[in-house]
Structure 1
Amino acid sequence: MADRLEASGVAVRRAGPHLVWVVDFPLFVEEEGRLVSAHHPFTRPHQEDEHLVHSNPSEARSQHFDLVLDGWEIGGGSMRIHEPALQRHVLETVLGEDTAPLQHLLDALASGAPPHGGIALGLDRLVALVCGAQSIRDVIAFPKTSDGRDLMADAPSDISREEYDLYHLTKPS
């Protein structure tokens, strides 16, 4: 029956957990009239899109991926840029960042870093799904308050004006 429904164009939801990898995110998105990294500024472009980083960066796709279980993101990561010239171009030319605070990274990449990447799994999200919890806060040992404060670490703490500027943050009034 399900095969006949699918053949007729009707979507049929099959039983069981449904996992999907979400890929081909944009490398950059526009915010307030300028390009910003869609994932982080160290995310590698697709090899076939690398030329776009130099000619039309808003069209480049990233090697950023998310793992989704039944509509809930349970993990995500990316392959990282390992060439110093490409990393410098992304930071300086595309994103307009000062590379001085990251010179140690560019120096390390110039020493011959291999291709590398990473993924972070949200085990707390996965546990919340398995347990049928109403909120992820129900399965976290030390959850944040509803306004995002960590009572155990008394975070967030105040940061300097320079740190607000460095990370392009607006200081709350």
Structure 2
Amino acid sequence: MARVEVAKLIDSKGLSIYEPGFHFLWINQFPLFEKNNLGQWKSVHHPFTAASPETAHFLYTDPSKVIGLHHDLVCNGQEVGGGSIRVHNPEVQKYIFTEILKENSCEMEYFLTALNSGAPPHGGIALGLDRLIAIFVNAKSIRDVIAFPKAPGGKDLLCGTPTMVDDEILSQYCISVSNHNKS
């Protein structure tokens, strides 16, 4: 919410830039790949994002020119959702894994087999409803709108977690815990 407060302060000085309300923006046309610090290609979003039809041919010649079919939804300067259209062609997906990302496609063979079964074009979006509600009610913190927020340190005060599990319960599930304190 700091951006809104800064905008209000600037507005109070006679420079009108703050517009109350809910301002939504779709962000798209992200590059599909970028190079990491070792000069290797990596996915900007995830390796299952499809290329835009207009730039898909660059997969085979210049991955830096490929635009992905992924998108973010922003409200008042804060990301509240994101998603993508997925690769549904097994040959394209295998090419991305092996030739662009230099991944071992054997680890994803089950997925490529599933795509060979005829997956239709598909995709989705995930909304951060807690973020959206925080914006709508002008909450100072997202914790103010989460039903069961974690306390500092990751503690869940409702459940009293995290906590140690009794040895008896651990043994029921054949789990052993080693204490590796480093002095």
In the superposition, the TM-score normalised over structure 1's length comes to 0.75
- 1:21 — aligned with what? 26
Question: Given the superposition, is the C-alpha separation of residues 96 and 150 from structure 1 closer, same or farther in structure 2, using an over 3 Å criterion?
Answer: farther
* Residue matched to 2:109: 103
- Note closer, same or farther for the CA distance 1:31–1:144 as it changes in structure 2 (3 Å cut): farther
Q: 1:150 to 1:100 in 2, by over 3 A?
A: farther
- Which of 56, 59, 64 aligns to 2:65? It is 59
- Cα distance change, pair 144–89 in 1 and its aligned pair in 2 (3 A): farther
Q: Secondary structure at the match of 1:47?
A: coil
Give the deviation of 1:141 after TM superposition: 2.8
Relative to structure 1, is the Cα distance of residues 17 and 81 closer, same or farther in structure 2, using a 3 angstrom cutoff? same
In structure 2, the partner of 1:158 is none
Number of residues paired by the alignment? 146
User: Given the superposition, is the C-alpha separation of residues 31 and 146 from structure 1 closer, same or farther in structure 2, using an over 3 Å criterion?
Assistant: farther
Structure 2: give runs of 5+ residues left out of the alignment. 1-15, 163-181
**Greater Cα radius of gyration, structure 1 or 2:** 2
Q: How does 1:36-115 map to 2 (within 5 A)?
A: 36-115=42-121
Structure 1: distance between partners of 2:150 and 2:106: 34
Partner of residue 175, structure 2: none
Match of 1:133 among 124, 133, 139: 139
Cα 1:83–1:150 shift into 2, 3 Å: farther
Gap runs ≥5 in structure 1: 1-10, 155-172
Q: CA separation in 2, counterparts of 1:97 and 1:142?
A: 39
Identity %: 44
Distance (whole Å) between structure 2 residues aligned to residue 18 and residue 123 of structure 1: 16
